[in-house]
Each structure stands twice: as C-alpha cells, then as structure tokens.
C-alpha cells in the first residue's frame, strides 16, 4: 500500500463543524500519520494536490441490512446464502461509491462478509456486524406467520434474527454471536413493520432478559443497539444501558431526557419509511406489512424535531432493504430542514465512532485515525446536499489508505 500525501486541502473538522484551511495530510499504512498546516516531508508518498477541495472523513451509515436483498425477511430466510451474498456485492460497492466507508449492520451480516470486504474480495465499506439480531418468540425477528409453527430455515442461513426466550437462552444467543466476532448486539425490543405477527406498539423481552443481553455485551466490551419505536419501549431500555435506539418514531419528551441523561444515541431512519410508503409492495414487502408503515411515517419527522430541540445526540441511519437501498443518501435531504449541516455531518462521522466505542479510530481527520477520507468539490457545511450528489461532487474515495475512486 503506497503512502499518500494530500496537499492544499480544506479539511472538514467533523467534530467542531469548521474548516481547517490549507492543510497537508500524510497517510501511511492505512492510517493518518500526520496533519499539518506546514509542509510535510515524505520521500516515498504519492502527492495529491487538492487545490482547495474539501477533505472530510468517510461517512458511516449506522443502520443497514447489507444482506437484505428483499424486504420480505421470511422469503430471505429460505434463500441460498451463496445467492444472497452474490446479490449483496453490488449493494456494498454502491454504498462505498456514495462515500460510506463504514456501515453498522443491524442484522444479517456476519464475520465472513466483513472479512471478505476487509480483504477486498468484495468492494464495500467496513462492516460492523451483530450477526443475528436477538428476538423473542413472536418478536420483530420471528418471521413465521400465525399458522406456521416450525422454522423452515436455520440460523446459519440468510435472515435477520434468531429467536430465544428466557434469561438463559438470551445469554447463550449473545455469547454465540460474540463468539463469532459481533461488534455489537442488536435487541429487537418492540414491534416492527417487516415482521408478520407483532404490533408496532408492543414491548418485547422482559426487563430481566434485557439486563442479561446488556450484561453480555458489556462483558465483551461492545455496545448494544435496540430496535424500538414507542416511548414505552424506549424508556425501559435506555436506563438499562442500551447505547443506541434505532428508529424511535413514537418517543416522547421523557425519552429525550433519558437520552441526554444516559449519553445514549438515537438513530432515526426516515428514508426507509418514505421509501416503503412509495414502493414497499413493489419491492416485495407483503401488503399487510407495508400498511404498518403508516403507523410511524409522519411520527418520524416529529420525533426528529423533538430530539434536535432537546439536544439528543443522533446517528445517520437508512435501514433500506432490497431495491430501495439506492435511496441511502436521501436521509440527508429528509433531515436537512430540521438538523443543521454540522450536526448532520457529526451524525454520519464522529458521533458514530463515539457511540460504538471507536473514538479517534474513524469519523475524524486526526493523527492516528483510519485513513477513511473523501474529497469533495464543494463544502458540505455550506450545503449538506453536496453529499447527495456523489457522481459530480465526490472526486476521491479512500478507505483504510487505499483509493477506490479518483477523478481529480
């Protein structure tokens, strides 16, 4: 891997929401070795003169399902994992070409897929994975219909989650996912749109089961993410140590207070509801499930406003499934009227690193961080929609020191 020296760069300081003008950045062995306003000496580095273009950290989508080639998870669980992986490849490459150098998978990806990307056997962003999400019987990860009593697939095949009940079973399930290298544990803690037998307003898992799950994640020094829509579900999770709440459309003011008090993060995923409302059935989601999206569609915008007003720290998430994955960057558009550009950039960069326990490892252009960087023609702090036009705005993509796109 060749060392690279960027000169004449306007660096986007993602943490402070400012521009550091006329900087030089040296990349060595996949990491940022030096950042300086003075000339950097390097005899063997490839020099790239950015001529005042904007250098920012690679983006992180904190809620993806990279193996969800269809929104019909019951069907997904019956598919050949080889077929699913083949279809996953182009989705991963598209994410990288949009500027996402890290993604956090919320159910489905495993160590093999993450390793294939790390080795460049597949092109895509670095994958942080939970393996299978943890679900109770009849929960958001149980894709059986009311009349189906046995599982047709197995938990090693493609699919979203694994079903377990009781403290002993959830501990065993968490330990098994941790054994397989999970970088976080995902709890299905309320009802959802894409599951056939639960209600949006249900809470899932007992408090004792939730405690056991969080304890196992904490013991492994990883964090816990939880699918939850309602205030009733959210407000029982945050005080128990859950670090990130996914969706949160039906939260309340008490939820906001708890987020701030416990230093937890919200991952809104507005773009999936917008996409499901427009093309969910066409994309393969059964109509009965697609109709459930209207229970949370409008509430998502109101929850975003409440969270922003209350100072809740947020992450960028899309949660898109199948053909809808192409709308990933539209999440910026859907939040732009409520969330300022600097906060949106933080949500997609350093906030994610902080939430996941990787502060200083990615999400910032600082010495020692992974060399995950983008070169933009214009300043996203002035107009966040710059990030939604990668074909014309994104002239270089670097992940771990390797260049995957360059049109300079």
pLDDT score for 54 = 98
pLDDT score for 195 = 64
Task: Judge whether residue 11 has pLDDT over 90.
Answer: yes
pLDDT score for 196 = 63
pLDDT score for 56 = 98
pLDDT score for 280 = 78
| Rg (the chain; Cα; Å) | 21
**H runs (alpha helix) in 348-408:** 350-356, 390-393
| pLDDT-wise least confident of 77-86, 266-275, 329-338 | 77-86
Task: Judge whether residue 156 has pLDDT over 60.
Answer: no
Residue-wise pLDDT tens digits, 124-142: 999 999 999 999 987 777 7
pLDDT score for 148 = 64
Can you give 31-90 as a three-state secondary structure string? EEEEEECCCCCCCCCEEEECCCCEEEECEEEEEECCCCCCCCHHHHCCCCHHHHHHHHHH
d(CA 9, CA 23): 5
Residue-wise pLDDT tens digits, 347-391: 999 999 999 999 999 999 999 999 999 999 999 999 999 999 999
Task: Judge whether residue 254 has pLDDT over 60.
Answer: yes
Residue-wise pLDDT tens digits, 162-174: 999 999 999 999 9
What are 144's two structure tokens?
């059986």
Mean pLDDT of 50-62: 98
d(CA 388, CA 398): 18
With vertex at residue 320, the alpha carbon angle to CA 318 and CA 325, rounded to the nearest 5 degrees, is 105
- pTM (two decimals): 0.94
Percent of the chain with pLDDT over 90: 79
pLDDT score for 298 = 83
Coil, helix or strand at residue 135: strand
Task: Judge whether residue 194 has pLDDT over 70.
Answer: no
Task: Judge whether residue 98 has pLDDT over 90.
Answer: yes
What's the residue count for the chain?
408
Sheet holding 313-314, edge to edge: 161-163, 133-135, 184-188, 223-230, 244-250, 265-267, 313-314
Task: Judge whether residue 59 has pLDDT over 60.
Answer: yes
pLDDT score for 145 = 61
Mean pLDDT of 249-267: 97
pLDDT score for 200 = 73
Task: Judge whether residue 154 has pLDDT over 60.
Answer: no
Percent of the chain with pLDDT over 70: 94
The DSSP letter of residue 102 is E
| pLDDT, greater one: 344 or 295 | 344
pLDDT score for 197 = 63
pLDDT score for 281 = 80
| pLDDT-wise least confident of 1-5, 89-93, 209-213, 215-219 | 1-5
Task: Judge whether residue 294 has pLDDT over 60.
Answer: yes
Q: Smallest Cα–Cα separation from 399: which of 100, 105, 141, 26?
A: 100
Long-range CB contacts for residues 21-24, cutoff 8 Å, separation at least 24: 23/55
297 confidence band (pLDDT: 50, 70, 90):
confident
Instruction: Give whole-number Cα distances, 257 to 207, 231, 252, 254, 310, in Å.
Output: 20, 12, 9, 5, 8
Task: Judge whether residue 155 has pLDDT over 60.
Answer: no
Task: Judge whether residue 208 has pLDDT over 90.
Answer: yes
DSSP string, 214-258: HHHHHHTT-EEEEEEEEHHHHHHHGGGT--EEEEEEE--HHHHHH
Task: Judge whether residue 202 has pLDDT over 80.
Answer: yes
- E strands, 331-380, in order: 373-376
pLDDT score for 246 = 97
Mean pLDDT of the chain: 92
Mean pLDDT of 321-345: 96
């Amino acid at each position: 891997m060749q060392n690279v020296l960027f000169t004449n760069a306007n660096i986007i300081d993602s943490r402070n929401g400012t521009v550091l003008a006329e900087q030089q950045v040296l990349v060595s062995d996949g990491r940022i070795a030096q950042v300086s306003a003075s000339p950097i000496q390097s005899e063997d580095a490839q020099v790239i003169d950015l001529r005042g273009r904007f250098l920012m950290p690679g983006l992180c989508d904190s809620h993806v399902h990279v193996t969800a080639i269809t929104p019909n998870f019951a069907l997904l669980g019956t598919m050949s994992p080889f077929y699913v992986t083949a279809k996953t490849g182009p989705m991963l490459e598209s994410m990288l070409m949009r500027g996402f150098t890290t993604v956090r998978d919320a159910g489905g990806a495993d160590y093999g897929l993450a390793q294939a990307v790390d080795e460049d056997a597949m092109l895509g962003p670095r994958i942080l994975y939970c393996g299978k999400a943890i679900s109770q019987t009849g929960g958001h990860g149980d894709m059986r219909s009311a009349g189906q009593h046995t599982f047709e697939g197995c938990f090693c095949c493609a699919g979203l989650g694994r079903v377990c009940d009781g403290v002993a079973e959830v501990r065993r399930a968490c330990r098994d996912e941790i054994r397989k290298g999970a970088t976080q544990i995902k709890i299905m803690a309320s009802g959802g749109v894409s599951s056939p037998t639960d209600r949006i307003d249900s809470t899932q898992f007992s408090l004792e089961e939730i405690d056991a799950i969080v304890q196992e994640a904490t013991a492994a020094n990883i964090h816990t993410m939880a699918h939850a829509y309602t205030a009733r579900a959210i407000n029982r999770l945050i005080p128990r140590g859950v670090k990130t709440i996914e969706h949160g459309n039906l939260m309340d003011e008490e939820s906001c207070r708890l987020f701030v008090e416990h230093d937890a993060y919200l991952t809104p995923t507005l773009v999936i509801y917008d996409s499901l409302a427009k093309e969910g059935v066409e994309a393969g989601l059964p109509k009965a499930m697609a109709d459930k999206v209207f229970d949370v569609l409008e509430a998502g915008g109101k929850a975003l406003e409440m969270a922003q007003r209350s100072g809740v720290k947020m992450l960028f998430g899309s949660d898109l499934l199948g053909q809808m994955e192409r709308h990933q960057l539209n999440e910026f558009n859907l939040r732009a009227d409520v969330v300022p550009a600097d906060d949106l950039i933080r949500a997609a960069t350093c906030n994610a690193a902080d939430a996941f326990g990787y502060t200083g490892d990615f999400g910032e252009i600082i010495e020692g961080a992974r060399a995950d960087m983008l070169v933009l023609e214009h300043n996203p702090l002035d107009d966040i929609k710059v990030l939604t036009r990668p074909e014309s705005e994104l002239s270089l993509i670097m992940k771990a020191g390797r260049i995957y796109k360059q049109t300079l």
